[in-house]
Amino acid sequence: HDGAEGGAGGPLALVETGDRVRLSVKNRTLDLLVDAAELERRRALWKAPVAPKRGWDKLMFEQVLQAPDGADLAFLRPEGV
């Protein structure tokens, strides 16, 4: 599952084309094989995406929940959750 983590400033936001990754199905991990100093440089340059003003992009931006929150639409959650 790849949620909106990148747009929220999570680790996926720092991945660039050509980066090497290591996937371990056994360990259930996905590791980004980039030097820590390079990741810090990227983090310092990262800017949050501009919030869409309308349409499907706005709906996705405002309503799609992150994976730990169920990867659902916020307006479908029960009251008080």
Give the pLDDT of residue 53.
Answer: 96
Smallest Cα–Cα separation from 34: which of 49, 54, 20? 20
Which residues does the chain have with pLDDT short of 50? none
Smallest Cα–Cα separation from 60: which of 68, 69, 51? 51
Give the pLDDT of residue 5.
Answer: 67
C-alpha distances in angstroms, 78 versus 62, 66, 67, 81?
Answer: 17, 16, 17, 6
Neighbours of 14 (CB within 10 A): 19
C-alpha span between 61 and 51 (Å, rounded): 7
Which tens digits make up the pLDDT trace of 7-22? 677 888 899 999 999 9
Is 4 exposed, middle or buried (CB count within 10 Å of its CB: 0-12, 13-18, 19+)? middle
